[in-house]
Amino acid sequence: MGNNDTISAIATPLGAGGIGIVRLSGRNAKAVLTRIFRPASSRFTDFRPWTLHHGHVSDVAGETLDDVLAVFMPGPKTFTGEDVAEIHCHGGPAVLQTLLRTTLALGARQAERGEFSRRAFCNGRMDLTQAEAVAEMIAAPTRQAARLSAAKLDGLLGRRVSEMRGRLEALRAQVCLAVDFPEEEVDCLSPEEFLGGVRHVADAVRALLAGYRRCRCWQQGAAVVLAGAVNAGKSSLMNALLGRNRALVTDIPGTTRDFLEEFLSLDGLPVRLTDTAGLRETEDAVEGLGVDLSRDRIAAADLVLAVVDGTVGLDAAGREILSEIPSERVVVVWNKIDAQPRIAMPEACRTGEIACVPVSARTGEGLEMLAATIRRKVLADGTEPEPGELAPNMRQATALERALEELAELERDIAAGMPYDVCAVRLDAAVAALGDVVGLDSPEDVLNRVFSTFCIGK
């Protein structure tokens, strides 16, 4: 991957659409565009920056490809910081692919995943939090998730983290002064001032991490797992909640051997709904692997829907779930209430000790109550993201947690009267962790992982 060449990619989703866009970035973007563009106006002399021009594009043989709008945007005040050109054509796959191949034949190179955004980051047009916000905005499953991404897109998270890093760097300068000139009559950082400065930054880091925990489900989707015995109706319930047939439903025990995962929105809350293999002892090696996967998914879930066949009652699988998972993370789904015989729900369900919702996956009875219960249990504290709230993603939160751990150790070292040169080691580590959030001195493999998750045209 080089930053001196010109890259090209289709910037709109695969498939047919009304409009498609081919984007170029690099020093030869305008030259490639000029080679293939034929203006519709006889008064056209050159591309006016940031202005859409109507015309036609041709392939390398001069054959007209499509009627288009084209725009040239000179760097450095562009998305990538380089010269950028876009061709807005009809969104058929054949047109877009032919147009892309034409730009490649004229000297452009196929862009790699996230390369446009990576160039924006490398050219100082955005920090790493903004680059990630671009990908999060594209992948946002709900309006609320898009709002959370938009709050980071303008660089607010990066500025907050940079401010905290700046405070620690100021403390580091004072620590270095105290270490290098211990005998000089200079203003020295007192332990009380040192401790107060560290605690101030630590509190700010905790506030960002609280935003991550509060908004995690809105960004990533709440992990809700359907679990229970074979033939309890898990797959039927999944289909009913999705409103379509996604999971295979038969009367044969053990039909679901792997897990199926689908997204749905519950009044704006994204949910990753997972149908798992039925919990039971089995001699079938493949089904046994599915059962093991089910237990792993149950352990990691935000909420477990313990599906019980209401004509059988609470079975061994249901009792296993209720004994191993805290009640705040479980909803008993008493399924098949339309069938006979109907078994009474356990006392704990009737008294409300354990959340329980009677449903019929076949008729749809009780599904609205179940959806409301899922949402209420996932959002146990009743809070929703505030407008403009900052919510770090998982990578950013991991770096913030590292910084907080270093700051906590630093507080203990200062309180214990450790020498300042020893304290400086923890201070340096905290500064580096905050730098990782915004991409300062981030290792190449970290950047590769981040940008490899982007689509090619972004």
Q: In this predicted structure, what is the pLDDT of residue 257?
A: 46
**Same domain membership, residue 373 and residue 235:** yes
Same domain assignment for residues 204 and 103: no
Same domain, 432 and 403: yes
In a domain, 385, yes or no: no
- Together in a domain, 99 and 21: yes
* pLDDT, position 142: 79
* Residue 280: predicted pLDDT: 54
Q: Is residue 456 part of a domain?
A: no
Q: Which residue ranges of the chain lie beneath pLDDT 50? A: 1, 185-186, 247-257
* Residue 230 forms part of a structural domain: yes
Q: What pLDDT was estimated at residue 189? A: 77
Report the pLDDT value the prediction gives residue 6, as an integer from 0 to 100: 96
Tell me, yes or no, whether 387 lies in a domain. Answer: no
Whole-prediction pTM: 0.75
Residues 364 and 404 reside in one and the same domain: no
Residue 301, pLDDT score:
85
Q: Which domain holds residue 340?
A: 221-378
Q: 226 and 211 in one domain?
A: no
47 Ramachandran zone, left/alpha/beta (phi>0; psi -120 to 50): beta
Tally of domains within the chain: 3
In the structure encoding, which two tokens stand for residue 451, read together?
Answer: 């940008």
Question: 44: which residues sit within 8 A by CB, 6+ positions away?
Answer: 53, 55
- The answer on 119 and 240 residing in a single domain is no
Please tell me the predicted confidence (pLDDT) of residue 186.
47
* Domain identity same for 327 and 402: no
Could you tell me which of 113, 156, 116 has the C-alpha nearest to residue 392? 156
Considering the domain architecture, whether residues 368 and 408 belong to the same structural domain is answered as no
pLDDT at 27: 95
Q: Do residues 244 and 365 share a domain? A: yes
Q: Which of 63, 98, 127 is the last residue of a domain?
A: 127
Half-sphere exposure of 411 (CA within 13 A, CB side): 13
pLDDT computed for residue 446 by the predictor: 63
Q: How far apart are CA 389 and CA 289, in angstroms?
A: 41
CATH number at residue 290: 3.40.50.300
257 & 307 share domain: yes
pLDDT of 41 reads 93
CATH number for position 429: 1.20.120.430
Same-domain check for residues 197 and 276: no
Residue 184 lies in a domain: yes
